[in-house]
Amino acid sequence: MQQTPPLSLEVHGLAHRFGDGRGVSDVSLSVPRGSITGFIGVNGAGKSTTLRCLLGLLKPQAGEIRLFGAPADAASRHRVGFLPEERGLFPRDRARDVIAFNARLKGVERKAALRTADRLLHRIGLGGRERERIETLSKGNAQRVQLLCALAHEPELLLLDEPLSGLDPIAQSEILSLFAEFRAGGGAILFSTHSMAAAEAICDRVAILSNGRTVFEGSVSDAARQAPHGAVVVTDDEAGLIASAEAIGGRAWPLSTVGSRLGAATRWQVALPREVTHPVLMRALSERAVPIFAFEPIRENLEGAFWSLTRNAETALPPDRQAA
Amino acid sequence: MIGPVRLIAEREFRTYVATASFWIALLVGPIIMAAAAGALAVSFKAPTPAPIHVVAEDPVLARMAVAALEDLAGLEGRAVAIRVGPPAASPETPLTIEVRRTGPVDVRLTQSGAPALGPLQWRLLTRTLERDVARGALATTSPATTPPTTALAPSRTARTSPEATQTPSSGAPASLGRFALVLTLWMTLTGSLGMLLQAVVRERGNRSLESLLASVRPVQIVLGKVIGVGAVSLLVLGAWMGSAAGLAILAPGVRQAGGAGLAASLGDPASLLRAALIYLLAFAFYGLLTVAVGVRARDAAAAQNMVRPLFGLLLAAFFVALVSSIGAGQRLDWLLWVPPFTPFVLLTKAPGALPLLQEVASCALLLLGAVVAGRAAAKGLSVQPVERRKKTRGRRADDQGSASA
């Protein structure tokens, strides 16, 4: 029998609403020790608000946050490393000094902090550039230095808000390998991202957020299975599309209107039974001479699941809360 | 608590001090002072005391004449060398004042030699001497006889205020010295508050505030910044005050131009401690107030606009101090109880001029103001501008909703 690893982070029913009604209303997730959890949601879904609540930067209005098996407090938050969405360093600070400074703020002794800074810089390929000022580093390198600031006090849990944004593919790959190394050392990571590919590549688990609520939490493979089988079709023949879909046991519903030179076309989602393949749908559409401006199979992956889950969650909302 | 505050303070200090421009700017003050002192020293020529001989039959009368002549010279700011007895025979006869008693309370004065006293000086000398002779005569006939030495200059023992312990000619430098302290405080505050504002806005500007807030408490950030910038100001203040005091002691021109009062103020440990305490409280109050205002700004431009009233207040406090320093500010003494004015009013008063209880109570009020400002600063720092904007938007939406309802 496989033993469940202890949880580094548990969140139950977290809520924090701002004056305009935005924020989070019901977020629940867990991050086991030695794992990476992707925190996925569209802009404004509440990812940053959740992370700031976890760190105590915002006071939750409801819900429970447990860190390392106990209610979160200042001492347990000292064991957490954080990379905020809004990133910035003092341009005149030297790379090793800024990393050591962040470590010392968390109570690490000066010499140990400097040693750690040197080691981490060497690890990401900036060995020999310890004394360079941040203003002389490239944007990608500066961002990597900022990530090292979160790692400098050797935390047990990393909370990272969009750590991959603004990085080129090579830098992203390096950062992901750093995450993997951290996980191998028993650390836990919760990172918010828009990159489904990155989440699919490295995450053990995902938590999908929509309109301030957790709509899915579980393993990446379980998430992928949430993706519907079907396709997205852009056409202006509504009746033909619906008849074609029903003829092969599926159903269709509009996603959005697409204004184009070809006329008022509509983007439709067509759900199909698992045994019906995409070519069957194509054939059914061509038999009825339905004009097809675009045809995009919905993949059974995280991205497909994400769109489906967030769409379902949005349609469940009252009309005034639905995204435009 | 202390560790993060010290680290943040150290970083703030290093941010300013680790630049060549800071040291250049720091040296500019003493260099300008030294140049000014040099110019004063060159232009200042110690006047040769004009010899005056007093001839009188009665030694008491001679002493009275000497005292009257000294008072006259003091009023005019002239240096004189007064001798009792006739001058030695020489081609150029110095000014000789001959005093003769013509009655119990009447004296007659004659002058010979050069440079002769003008009509106004002569009249003043005669009247002073007549008054002192009359007082001396009254004192010797009174049952409660006062010693002749005090009878010589009774008007000098009548003053009881702290100012009166100094000679008339040293009152002005003392007042100037205190005003120099006020001016230095004002300059220190205006300079360092600007730095402090930059330090607060910089965190938001380079978007490093959130990561800092994730590690330390807002109050630690506020204190670290105020202490760090305060240390920079202290360094600047020390360099400037040290240079000024050194020049006041060493350069005769500066000493004459009011530096003596400053040197006296700095030379007295009790006065120095009092001034240091007032400086500390003033910096804490104004510094924390600046942070409290600055943290509510989204960027440097907004921060500059928001602190403008604070600098206006500082300017008003300076003018209050200026008015108090020239002795016309008695009616403004109540401002001692208004924290933004407290340090300036206190500095214009000589140590001991106010009752101790009053000084301590006003300082306590200033400290209370600093604590309130500090709490407001910490609270403002922990609320992100984005969050504040959302709250405002929400309130507006609520208002519109209720209005439409």
What integer pLDDT is reported at residue B189 of this predicted model? Answer: 85
Take residue B338 and report the two structure tokens written for it.
Answer: 């208004």
Residue A122 CB contacts under 8 Å (≥ 6 apart), including other chains: none
The distance of Cα B57 from the centroid of its chain, to the nearest Å, equals 48
Of A21, A90, A105, the CB nearest to B215: A105
CB-based contact, B299 to chain A, within 8 Å: no
Structure tokens at A317: 């909302």
**Beta pairing class for A36-41 and A205-210:** parallel
Q: Is the pLDDT of residue B13 over 50?
A: yes
Q: Tens of pLDDT along B363-375?
A: 999 999 999 999 9
Is the pLDDT at A256 greater than 70, yes or no?
no
Tell me what the pLDDT averaged over chain B comes to.
77
* pLDDT single digits (tens) B108-136: 888 888 777 888 888 888 888 888 888 87
Sheet strands (E) in chain A: 7-17, 23-32, 36-41, 62-67, 70-71, 80-83, 157-161, 188-193, 205-210, 213-219, 230-235, 251-260, 263-271, 294-298
A270 vs chain B: nearest CA distance in angstroms? Answer: 38
According to the model, what pLDDT value does residue B387 have? 52
pLDDT (tens digit per residue) in A207-222:
999 888 998 899 888 8
Question: What integer pLDDT is reported at residue A65 of this predicted model?
Answer: 94
Q: What is the mean pLDDT of chain A?
A: 85
Residues of chain A above pLDDT 90, percent:
33
Q: How many CB pairs under 8 A join A and B?
A: 72
* pLDDT band of B160, cuts 50, 70, 90: very low
Q: Quick one: which of B129, B23, B139 has its CA closest to B68?
A: B129
Q: Give CA–CA dist B64/B258, Å, rounded.
A: 31
Give the pLDDT of residue A184. 92
CB contact under 8 A, B7 and A106: no
pLDDT (tens digit per residue) in B331-364: 778 888 999 999 888 888 877 778 889 889 999 9
Tokens coding A113: 């902090």
pLDDT tens across A94-134, in order? 899 999 999 999 889 999 999 999 999 998 888 888 888 88
Please give the residue of chain B at the shortest CA–CA distance from A53. B214
Q: What residues of chain B lie within 8 A of the CB of A88, using their CB? A: 205-208
pLDDT (mean) for A294-299: 86
pLDDT of residue B153: 39
Least confident range from A280-284, A301-305, B165-169: namely: B165-169
Name the amino acid, one letter, at B238: G
pLDDT computed for residue B237 by the predictor: 83
pLDDT band of residue A29 (cuts 50, 70, 90) is very high
Q: Encode pLDDT of A130-183 as tens digits.
A: 888 888 888 888 888 888 999 999 999 999 988 888 788 888 888 888 889 999
Test A57 with B210 for CB contact under 8 angstroms: yes
Q: What's the gap between Cα A75 and its chain centre?
A: 27
- Mean pLDDT for B205-209 is 71
Pairing of strands A230-235, A36-41: unpaired
* Mean pLDDT, residues B139-168 taken together: 42
What value, to the nearest 5°, has the Cα angle with vertex B31 and ends B25 and B36?
A: 130
ipTM over 0.90: no
Closest residue of B to A110, CA-based?
B7
Helix (H, G, I), strand (E, B) or coil at B286: helix
| Residue-level pLDDT at A262 | 57
Contact (CB<8Å) B208/A58? no
Of A20, A86, A102, nearest to B207 by CB-CB distance is A86
User: Is the CB of residue B140 less than 8 Å from the CB of residue B133?
Assistant: no
In tens, the pLDDT along B193-204 reads: 888 888 888 777
Which residue of chain A has the CA closest to B206?
A: A88
Give the one of B15, B390, B392 whose C-beta lies nearest to A22's C-beta: B390
pLDDT category at B262 given cuts 50, 70, 90 is low
Residue showing tokens 């421009």? B21
Distance from the Cα of B287 to chain A's closest Cα (Å) equals 22
Helices (H) and strands (E) in chain A, counts: 11, 14
Q: What is the pLDDT of residues B277-311, one digit of tens each?
A: 998 999 999 999 999 988 888 778 888 888 889 88
Query: Any idea which residue has 């750590």 for tokens?
Result: A163
Helices marked H in B44-147 — which ranges? Answer: 59-76, 119-141
Q: What is the pLDDT at residue B147?
A: 44
More confident residue, B193 or B87: B193
Q: Which residue is it, tokens 């600098």?
A: B311
Rounded distance between C-alpha atoms, residue A307 and residue A4, angstroms: 30
Backbone angles phi, psi at A68, to 5 degrees: 55, 40
Q: Does B148 touch chain A (CB under 8 A)?
A: no
Q: Strand B107-112 vs strand A188-193: parallel, antiparallel, or unpaired? A: unpaired
Least Cα distance to A150 among B124, B379, B281, B214 occurs for B214
Nearest CA in chain A to B395: A19
- Which strands form A263-271's sheet, in the order they lie side by side? A251-260, A263-271, A230-235, A294-298
Residue of A nearest to B211 (CA): A84
pLDDT by residue (tens digit) across A179-207? 899 999 999 999 998 888 888 888 999 99
- Note whether B216 contacts A: Cβ–Cβ < 8 A: yes
Q: Is the pLDDT of residue B86 over 70?
A: yes
List of chain A residues whose C-beta atoms are within 8 Å of the C-beta of residue B11: 90, 101
B398 contact residues in A (CB cutoff 8 A): 19
From CA B25, how far away is CA B106, in angstroms rounded?
66
Residue B149: what pLDDT?
41
pLDDT at B167: 38
A254/A252 Cα distance (integer angstroms): 7
Query: Distance (Å, rounded) from C-alpha B76 to C-alpha B121?
Result: 10
Q: CA-CA distance, A138 to A119, in Å (whole number)?
A: 20
